[in-house]
Structure 1
Amino acid sequence: MTNIPNRWFWIVLLIPVVSLVSMTVQPLLAFMSGERMTLKTIPVDPKDLFYGDYVRLKLEIEEVERSRFDPQLAQKAARHLPDPGIPVYVSLKPKGNHYIVDRVSEKKPPGGLYLKGTLQKSVFPFRDEEKYRVDYQLDRYYVEEGSGKKWEALAQNGGVLVEVKVKNGYGVIVGIEEDPGKS
């Protein structure tokens, strides 16, 4: 009889531990065995200074023209996007020293490099432009203490390349470097 309460104690203790450890599986898989790619940034003005030295990144691939959408997604986006957005898969292709958007679809691509993201309302809702924002959750990178201002200045001019490892559409930033084309 004393064995049963002891067993329940360990089960109750392990449930939160297992759930916390399970949250790290996807990022670790992407980091350990993901395919490496480089992405370009565009200027951004970070305002939050409470997180230490970091660089706020706005990736070039976050702004996507509707012409890159699959036909069904283009129709859906033209009508109305729901507030939380639509889960999408963004296929990427190399262009020079970085990757650019090839296609955007609600269906997982059969192969190649792709990122999962959330398609959100138009980047310029008050203009008649065909650009939309895709959020990949790759917008912040912590840097060595004291180097934040340098990277922030480069990022504001779009002079930062971001190295990302991708596994099954999940991306993890593994590093940043100065864009030689912007120097």
Structure 2
Amino acid sequence: MSNGSAVSVKRRSLLVFGLVLLQALVLAGVAVSYYAVGWFGQDVRVRTVPVDPRDLLYGDYVTLSYDISRLDPSLWKDPGSRAERGKTIFVVAAPGADGLFEAKAAYGSKPSAGQGEVVLKGRINYNWDDAIAVKYGIEKYYVPENTGQALEEKADRLIVHLKVAPWGQAAIQGLEDRKD
């Protein structure tokens, strides 16, 4: 084997090793980003109204719709741009009088959060004259089998505990029954 051939084999081996390492780092990054929400996220409680569907592969889950998922168009604060379907949206939320978080403003680019506020990252599902509908990626919550119906019966009293990371990603931590 010539010296040039050995260098070519070594270079190819390094390339393969680099590609495998890159794939492993990407997978680790995805996993770490999910757990990082729990580590660095701020506690948030929001009001919800669930619906009870069933997934044959994953079992019972509750589809959640939040007060902060339907925004008044007057909350859009980006002059010169429109809230368009499919666009990334950043919703500033702060605790209301009852301690539950409410939407205060919406932007097309990430704003800085004020004291006690969080910024939730979502995607505009649709924009009508009377509302901007937002999906945050936290609309499904899997529950133990045969418990979805019980949650549906107390839908108007449920509060969702979220963790919201500084970069806007949210993760559901649990549901609680609001005792009014």
The Cα shift of 1:49 comes to: 4.6
Q: Choose which of 113, 116, 121 in structure 2 pairs with 1:116.
A: 121
TM-score w.r.t. structure 1 length?
0.78
Q: Is contact 2:46-2:102 (8 Å) kept?
A: yes
- Answer whether contact 2:50 2:152 (CA < 8 A) is retained: no
Identity of aligned residues (%): 26
Q: Which residue of 2 aligns with 1:164?
A: 162
Hey, what does 1:148 align to over in structure 2? Answer: 148
Larger Rg: 2
CA contact (8 A) 2:53 2:60 kept: no
CA 1:60–1:46 in structure 2 vs 1: closer, same or farther (change >3 Å)?
Answer: farther
* CA–CA separation in structure 1 for the residues paired with 2:149 and 2:57: 14
The equivalent of 2:95 in structure 1 is 94
- Aligned-pair CA distance for 1:158: 3.0
Query: Structure 2: where are the runs of 5+ without partners?
Result: 1-5
Task: Report the counterpart of residue 49 of structure 2 in structure 1.
Answer: 42
Question: Which residue of structure 2 lines up, in the alignment, with residue 137 of structure 1?
Answer: 137
Alignment of 1:104 onto 2:109: no
CA pair 34-71 structure 1, distance change in 2 beyond 3 A? closer
Q: Which residue of 2 aligns with 1:58?
A: 65
Bigger shift: residues 24-33 or 39-48: 39-48
- Residue segments in structure 1 that go unaligned for 5+ positions in a row: none
Q: 1:18 to 1:120 in 2, by over 3 A?
A: same
Q: Does the Cα contact within 8 Å between 1:26 and 1:170 map onto a contact in 2? A: no
TM-score in terms of structure 2 length: 0.79
RMSD between superposed Cα atoms in Å: 2.5
User: Which range moved further: 160-169 or 2-11?
Assistant: 2-11
**C-alpha contact 1:56 1:152 (8 A) present in aligned 2:** no
Distance 2:131 2:53 in 1: 22
More off after superposition, 91-100 vs 41-50: 41-50
Q: Matched residues in 2 for 1:121 and 1:130: separation?
A: 11
Q: Distance in 2 between matches of 1:88 and 1:9?
A: 39
CA separation in 2, counterparts of 1:6 and 1:49?
A: 44
The answer to whether the 8 Å contact 1:165/1:172 transfers is yes
The higher-RCO structure (CA 8 Å, 6+ apart) is 1
Instruction: Answer whether contact 2:55 2:61 (CA < 8 A) is retained.
Output: no
